[in-house]
Amino acid sequence: ANYAHVLVSRPQPAVALVQLNRPKALNALSAAHFKDITDALVEADADDSVGAMVLTGSDKAFAAGADILEMKDKTFADAFTNNFLANWEIITKLRKPLIAAVSGYALGGGCELALMCDIILASPTARFSQPEISIGVIPGGGGSQRLTRIVGKSRAMELCLTGRMFDAYEAERWGVVSRVVDGADGAKKEGGTESISPVVKEAVDMAATIASKGRVAAIACKEVINASFEMPLTEGLRYERRLFQSLFATHDQKEGMAAFAEKRKPNFTNS
C-alpha cells in the first residue's frame, strides 16, 4: 500500500525499510503520521517475504516527538476517553525483528518510538531526549518505563526531570543503542536518486543477516528476550527452555544442525 507520511522500500529482498517522511515538521508524529507508521509496519510484519524490518527517519530527525501543535488544545476528557497514545502499543506486538536507525533528533515520542524497536543503531548525529517536562507533561509512550529499565533510576530521573538531550555516545555507553555507526568508510552511498546513510545501510545489512536465519527461531528469540522484561527470572527461564525445546519440532532445527555436521551452509525454509 502507499502511505502519505512514510516511504516503504525493499533494500534487500527480505528486508522492509519504513522511512518516516514528514520532513517539514522534523517527523513530528501527528495521529495520521503515526497511523501510517504502524500500518506500514503491520503490513511488512504480515508479509511472508519479509524477515526483518528497519525503521528510520531523515538525516536531521528520526522524529522530533508527538505533534505538539496537534495535541496542544486536547482536553483531558478527550485524551482519556479516546485513550490517547494507547495505539502505540501496536509496535510492541510486531513479531518480526525491528531495527531503528536513528540520525538527528529522537525526542519525546521519537525517543520512545526508537525504544519500542528491538535494536537501535545510531549515527554520530543522533540526539535523544525526553523533553516533555519542558512543555508541561511527562513521557507518555513508555519513556519513563522503557528508558528506566535500560539506564537505571538516577539517569532516567535526570533525563525526564530536566529534559536534557543525550548524544549518540552517551546512548551507546548506557546501552540505549547497540552502537554508533560512524560513516568512516565512505560517507554516503549515492545510487541514482537514492541515497542511503551509513547507519541505515548498517541496519539494513543487520536486518538481512537476521532474515537469513530460520524465521521460526528468530521470532521465538525475539519473544523470549521481550519476555525477560515482563516475567520473573524463574518463569522467564522456564519459558525460554520450553520454546527452545519446541524448536526441535521444526525443519530448520534439523537442517541447521545437519548443515553444521556436514560442514555446509544451512538452507532454512522457515518451517
According to the binding rule CB under 6 A, does residue 66 interact with ligand HXC?
A: yes
Contacting ligand HXC within 45-64 (CB under 6 A) = 64
According to the binding rule CB under 6 A, does residue 157 interact with ligand HXC?
A: no
Active site residue 109: yes
CB 6 within 8 A of CB 37: yes
DSSP, collapsed to helix, strand or coil, labels residue 8 as strand
Task: Give just the sign of the alpha carbon dihedral 213, 226, 179, 189.
Answer: positive
**Distance from C-alpha of 208 to C-alpha of 202, rounded to nearest angstrom:** 10
- 51, 65, 104, 109: which one is catalytic? 109
Whole-angstrom CA distances from 83 to 38, 119, 145, 205 are 17, 27, 18, 37
According to the binding rule CB under 6 A, does residue 112 interact with ligand HXC?
A: yes
**Distance from C-alpha of 99 to C-alpha of 182, rounded to nearest angstrom:** 17
Contacting ligand HXC within 8-27 (CB under 6 A) = 25-26
- Considering only residues 51, 57, 140, 198, which one is a binding residue for ligand HXC as defined by CB under 6 A? 140
DSSP string for residues in 116-152: HSSEEEE-TT-EEE--GGGGT----SSHHHHHHHHH-
According to the binding rule CB under 6 A, does residue 37 interact with ligand HXC?
A: no
> What is the bridge-based pairing of β-strands 105-107 and 127-129?
parallel
> Which three three-digit cell numbers place residue 207?
536486518
Contacting ligand HXC within 69-98 (CB under 6 A) = 69, 85
Active site residue 66: yes
Active site residue 63: no
According to the binding rule CB under 6 A, does residue 203 interact with ligand HXC?
A: no
Active site residue 203: no
According to the binding rule CB under 6 A, does residue 108 interact with ligand HXC?
A: yes
Least distance (Å) from ligand HXC to the CB of residue 90? Answer: 13
Residues that bind ligand HXC (CB under 6 A): 25-26, 28, 64-69, 85, 105, 107-109, 112, 131-132, 135, 140-141
Tell me which residues are annotated as active site: 66, 109, 112, 132
